Every structure is written in C-alpha cells, then in structure tokens.
C-alpha cells in the first residue's frame, strides 16, 4: 500500500503556522537536541488519524497549538487532514479534511469523524466484510477491523527501539495487543479477503446444518415422547369404554376428536383378542432374539478358540518359512503340505466378518423393529374393561385428556410449520462447493520468506552484531518477532546488548515491510517512523557530545542508517515501488554523508524546534 507523509503543519493559537516538509521515497532525518519536540511528531500522527486518546505533551506543545495537520498521499491521491488540539485529556471531534491535499490558511471543522473514518477505511481496503476472525477479552469475534491496527507495522517508538520483549508499539493497550495476532495474516497476505469470506460462509453453513440436525433430533424426540403419552391416554380411554380400539399411530388431534363423543362402547372381545395375539407374538420375537444372541456368543467363542489354535501353530509357520534350512525326510514335503492346508483353513475361519454374521445382525435388527412396533400397539390396547365409580370422575378424566391432547396438537402443529422440511441437502451441496485456501501452508511459506529476507539484512549489519554476526535470523510467529538462532542448532539466544536489540528491531520491521511489498499487501502502509535508533550509543543525555562517540559506535550507527538507505534502493530496484522512512535522531548530520536516499530536514538546534520560540513568547505574554 503506497502511503507516505508530505508534510506536518501546526497552527498556533494566533493562527501562525509551522510546517515540516518530507520527501517521498527517502530516509527523512530530523536530528537535533533533546526536548525539541521530535518524538512528539509520532504522537501527532497518531492523534490526527482518529486516536480516541492522546499523549501529546501539554507543556509547550498543546498549550501553544490550536490545530495539528498532516498532508499525506495514498497511491496517486493527495489528502490533507487536520484535527483541533485536545482540551486537556479530552480529544477533539473537530476535523478538517481535503480530498485534494489543500492546506487551509486556518482550519475549520468540515467533516464528521465517522464520515472521515469511512473514507480512510476505503483507502485501506477495509469494508464491512473484514471482521476479526476470533475474539478476545476486549475484541469481540466478528467485530470490524480498524485501519489504525495496521499502523502497528509503521512505528518503532522510543519505548520499543531497545525493548527485548515487545517488537510492536501499543502492546500495553489491550485492544492493540489482541488485534495484532488477528490482523497479522491478513496484513502479510497469508490470508485474503476472499478466503476469509469463504471460510466464514463455510463455518456458517456448518453451524446451520448442525442447528437443523439438532432441531430435527429434538422434535423427533419430543414427538416420540408425546406419542407414547398419547397412546397411554388412548388405552385408558378404551378401558373405560369412551372410545373404540385405535391404531398405534393415533395422533393428538384424532384422539381429541374421538373423545368428543363419549357414547361409544368399545368392542372388548376384539381388543382383548388382539392384545393376546400381540403378547404372543412379542413372546415369540423375544425367544428368537435370545436364540440369535446365544448363537452370536457361541460363534464368537468359536472364533476365539480358533485364534488360540492359530497362535499355537506359529512355530509351524516358522518351520515352513525356513524349510530350506531343514534336513528333510521322505515324508517332509507331505507333512508340510498338510500343515499348510490346515493353516489356510484356520485363517479362513477367523476372518474379520463372515456372511453369516451379517445375516444374523440383519435378522436381529428386523426382529427388534417389529418388537418396538408391537410394543407401541400394545400401549393402545386396553387390558380389561373398567368403569368410573362416579360420573364426575369420567368428566375429570375427559377434561385432563382433552387438555393434554390440545397442547400436544398445538406443539406438533407449531413444530411442523416452523421446522419442516429438515432437508439440508442444499446447504450440504453449497458447503461442498466452497473451497478454502490452506492458510497453514501459506503461513509456513511466508515465515520462510521473512527468514530469507532477514538473513540478507543480517549480512548488511556486518560486525555490528559482534558475537551474533554469524547467527541466523528466525521469525517467531507466535510472539511476532525476529530472534537469533545459533548455527546448526535449535538454540534461540536471549540477546543481551541494547545495541543488538536495536538492530533486531530494524531487521524485524524491514523484513516485514519487504515481505509485504513482495506480496502486494493492500493493508500495510509503505512507510516507517523510527525514534532515535542511535539510543544505545547516544542515549538521552543532552550534554553528551556526539562528536566524541567511540569510533566503533559511530561505525554501528552508520551501519544502521546504511541499512535504511539500502532498503529504499532495494525496494526501488527489485520491486519497482516506493518507500518512505522518517527518523528522529540526536547524532550530527555528518553521520549521514554520501547516502543517496537520505533527506535531512532542518536541524533542531539553537532554538529551532517543533514549536517556534516566538509562539511560546506570545503564549507567556498573555
């Protein structure tokens, strides 16, 4: 994603302006004294791009600035964005925005924050389809991805440059710490929007099919439970002579309608005979099932015995296999042939499954199905005629029966209308047609590419990494950082020197950006801001003299900046693309001589700073 900054402009309380101009496709260096506002530029960038809080210093900076503005470009478009300075700790919701990069003489609010967010999201190729793939403590699964998360790849702040653990900014903030692993694959092209949508649709279809199947099972279970109780009501009603004998598949509606007529006397002779017939058939079926079960058990014991016999004949197998080594008698061949026949017979006998076993299983299944059907029929057949002691008991029974049947009828009707049909074949067909890319293989390939690029960057450091100069750079995907691995070993070193940490951070970010460019990432902006990479050698001591740095330290600092300068050249040559780097420093400008892709901004020394002295004087005079 070709993205860069052309200028940063500040407006004073008296509407005066101060601007810093940056060059595209260069290493832009602002060097100078401490406490001149260099690091604040990074905070201003974050604030202007819709930050919900800020850490811009009030003293000197916010106290003297009314608006902060940034002119930036995305591909071939130029934009200008300004935001009113915060009021204490409260961020402003007033924004000026120009879609043609026009810088106003005095900014005024021209755009709503959400409208601005939508414009920026569009430029970052973010739409409603780009969702968080999984949730966390703060971030919810399926929530929209913020374009601000991708700026994690663009800054190495003063808090990070020497950090041995964290390699990305804002990891102390829950939502950014949770966002990084969730956007990493998308940012580096390991995953893509189409694949995410396909995977989400596939998961949605799987959930829908499972939901339908659960509903189907629940309804069938409920229907089975209702059917059993309906049959019990029918049997009791028949016993009391309220209805004739009914079919086992009687429904709640038909039984309720039958009970509306209480003058029918059942044919007890017929129902009693049928009950006797059903009971007799059930007895016969149970006897057949027992016989089949006995046969199955005996057949299993038979196969076990044969198996034991087979084990006992193993020495004979060895003898036959080594028959060539045995001194043979006249009957040896005849004996061996006989044994081979016997062994083949045993092998055949203990095969996994014989046809007879399948036939027995099928017969038992058929008997069990018939047994269940007879048991259900038996439920609706009255055992003996019965009568109510009082007429009131009959009306109580009828009221309870009709009430239950009405409820069952409504439930059955509601479930039928709501959930039938249960056919999920269309969903299954769509599920089978969706192709999802294997992210694991693409992730492994990308990690290898990061390692390859990092290895080339390691060579550029020369002896700057001292004892680790010959070690290998290895990207830790889980922790999202570059580590050093000992040659011909799996040992990952715990690097101790702060200067080594600085180089690891540079290698880490340059490698990620080169891979992003290689894979044409639509989400990672092609710029990098670094706050004082010379910190391990120069520190924050304002009284230190950079000219008195050790010769070896000057070489290491020079090496770091040559890496940045070479990176611009490599991106231009190998990828035919542009890249912008902005560096805040303390070292003298002589450190950057003869670098082809470096642009020096005015030095922040001798009163030159982010906030002109005249602004502070005017403010203090009020």
| Structural tokens at position 208 | 């829908």
Helix axes 193-239, 355-379, angle to 10 degrees: 50
Percent of the chain with pLDDT over 70: 77
528, containing H or E segment: strand 527-531
Q: What is the pLDDT of residues 71-98, one digit of tens each?
A: 999 999 999 999 999 999 999 999 999 9
Give the span between the Cα atoms of 539 and 534, in whole angstroms.
7
DSSP 144: B
Q: What DSSP line would sit under 147-179, residue for residue?
A: GGGGGGGSEE-TTTTT-SS--STTTTSHHHHHH
The first and second tokens of residue 197, run together, are 């949508």
Average pLDDT over residues 519-530: 95
Is 207 or 150 the better-scoring residue by pLDDT? 150
Report which of 497, 519, 524, 494 is spatially closest to residue 509, judged by C-alpha positions. Answer: 524
**Given this model, what pLDDT does residue 621 score?**
40
Residue 102's pLDDT band (cuts 50, 70, 90): very high
Query: Which residues are 473's β-sheet partners?
Result: 484
Q: Which one has a higher pLDDT value, 138 or 134?
A: 138
Q: Are 473 and 455 in contact (CB under 8 A)?
A: yes
Beta bridge partner(s), residue 527? 580
Helical (H) or strand (E) element with 485: strand 481-485
* pLDDT greater than 50 at residue 419: no
pLDDT digits (tens, 9 = 90+) for 479-506: 999 999 888 888 787 777 788 889 999 9
What's the whole-number mean pLDDT along residues 457-478?
Answer: 89
pLDDT value at 209 more than 60: yes
Taking the C-alpha atoms of residue 297 and residue 92, their distance in angstroms, rounded to an integer, is: 83
Look at residue 622 and tell me whether its pLDDT is greater than 50: no
8 A C-beta contact, residue 157 and residue 172: no
| Of the listed ranges 30-39, 344-353, 449-458, 484-493, the one predicted with least confidence | 344-353
pLDDT tens for 248-296 read 667 777 777 777 765 545 455 545 566 677 787 888 888 888 888 888 8
Does the pLDDT at position 323 exceed 70?
Answer: no
How far apart, in whole angstroms, are the C-alpha atoms of residue 1 and residue 578? 10
Strands 77-84 and 65-74 come out as antiparallel
* Beta-carbon contacts of residue 253 (< 8 Å; ≥ 6 apart): 405, 409
If pLDDT is split at 50, 70 and 90, which confidence band does 300 have? confident
Percentage of residues of the chain with pLDDT beyond 90:
40
Task: Single out the residue of 588, 577, 531 nearest to residue 554, CA to CA.
Answer: 588
Query: Is residue 320 very low, low, confident or very high in pLDDT (cuts 50, 70, 90)?
Result: low
| Residue whose tokens read 């892709």 | 597
Cα–Cα distance between 562 and 549 in angstroms, integer?
A: 18
Q: Are 530 and 28 in contact (CB under 8 A)?
A: no
pTM flag (> 0.75): no
> Tens digits of per-residue pLDDT, 539-553?
554 444 555 455 578
Length of the chain in residues, anyone? 622
Q: Which of 579, 586, 550 is nearest to 564 (CA)?
A: 579
Distance separating alpha carbons of residues 60 and 12, to the nearest angstrom = 11
Encode 322-338: b = buried (16+ Cβ within 10 Å), e = exposed. Answer: eeeeeeeeeeeeeebee
What is residue 314's predicted lDDT score, i.e. its pLDDT?
63
Q: Tell me the pLDDT tens digit for each residue of 428-464.
A: 888 888 888 888 989 999 999 999 999 999 999 988 8
């Amino acid at each position: 994603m070709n993205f860069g900054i052309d200028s940063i402009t500040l407006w004073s309380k008296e509407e005066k302006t101060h601007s810093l101009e940056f060059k595209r496709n260069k290493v832009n260096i602002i060097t100078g004294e401490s406490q001149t506002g260099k690091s604040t530029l990074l905070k201003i960038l974050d604030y202007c791009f819709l930050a919900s809080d800020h850490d811009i210093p009030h003293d000197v900076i916010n106290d003297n600035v009314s608006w902060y503005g940034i002119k930036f470009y995305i591909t071939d478009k130029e934009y200008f964005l300004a935001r009113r300075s915060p009021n204490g700790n409260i961020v402003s919701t007033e924004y000026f925005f120009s879609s043609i990069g026009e810088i106003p003489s005095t900014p005024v609010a021209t755009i709503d924050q959400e409208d601005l967010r939508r414009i920026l999201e569009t430029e970052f190729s973010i739409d409603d389809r780009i969702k968080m793939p999984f949730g966390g403590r703060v971030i919810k699964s399926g929530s929209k991805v913020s374009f601000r998360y991708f700026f994690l790849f663009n800054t190495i702040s003063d808090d990070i440059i020497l950090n041995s653990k964290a390699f990305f900014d804002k990891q102390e903030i829950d939502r950014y710490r949770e966002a990084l692993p969730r956007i990493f694959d998308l940012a580096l092209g390991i995953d893509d929007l189409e694949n995410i949508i396909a995977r989400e649709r596939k998961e949605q279809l799987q959930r829908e099919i499972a939901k339908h199947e659960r509903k189907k099972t629940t309804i069938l279970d409920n229907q089975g439970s209702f059917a059993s109780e309906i049959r019990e009501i029918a049997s009791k009603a028949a016993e009391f002579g309220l209805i004739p004998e009914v079919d086992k598949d009687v429904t709640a509606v038909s039984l309720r309608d039958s009970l509306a007529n209480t003058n029918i006397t059942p044919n007890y002779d017929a129902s009693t005979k049928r009950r006797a017939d059903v009971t007799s058939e059930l007895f016969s079926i149970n006897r057949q099932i027992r016989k089949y079960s006995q046969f199955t058990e005996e057949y299993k014991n038979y196969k076990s015995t044969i198996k034991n016999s087979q084990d006992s004949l193993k020495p004979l197998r060895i003898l036959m296999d080594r028959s060539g080594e045995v001194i043979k008698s006249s009957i040896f061949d005849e004996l061996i042939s006989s044994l081979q026949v016997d062994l083949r017979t045993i092998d055949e006998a203990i095969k996994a499954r014989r046809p007879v076993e399948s036939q027995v299983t099928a017969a038992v299944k058929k008997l069990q199905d018939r047994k269940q059907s007879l048991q259900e029929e038996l439920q609706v057949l009255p055992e003996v005629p019965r009568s109510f002691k009082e007429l009131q008991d009959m009306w109580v029974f009828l009221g309870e029966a009709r009430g239950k049947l009405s409820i069952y009828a409504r439930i059955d009707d509601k479930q039928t209308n709501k959930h039938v049909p249960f056919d999920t074949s269309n969903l299954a067909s769509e599920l089978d047609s969706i192709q999802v890319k294997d992210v694991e293989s693409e992730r492994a390939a990308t990690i290898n590419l990061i390692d390859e690029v990092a290895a080339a960057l390691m060579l550029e450091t020369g002896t700057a990494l001292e004892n680790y100069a010959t070690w290998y750079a290895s990207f830790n995907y889980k922790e999202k950082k570059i580590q050093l691995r000992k040659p011909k070993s799996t040992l990952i070193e715990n690097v101790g020197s702060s200067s080594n940490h600085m180089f690891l951070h540079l290698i880490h970010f340059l490698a990620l950006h080169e891979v992003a460019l290689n894979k044409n990432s639509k989400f990672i902006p092609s710029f990098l801001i670094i706050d004082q990479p010379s910190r391990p050698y120069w520190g924050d001591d304002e009284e230190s003299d950079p000219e008195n740095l050790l010769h070896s330290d000057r070489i290491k600092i020079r090496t770091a900046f040559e890496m940045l300068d070479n990176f611009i050249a490599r991106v231009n040559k190998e990828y035919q693309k542009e890249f912008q780097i902005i560096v805040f420093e303390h070292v003298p400008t002589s450190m950057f001589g003869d670098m082809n892709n470096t642009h020096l901004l005015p030095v922040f020394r001798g009163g030159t700073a982010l906030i002109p002295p005249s602004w502070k004087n005017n403010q203090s005079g009020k």
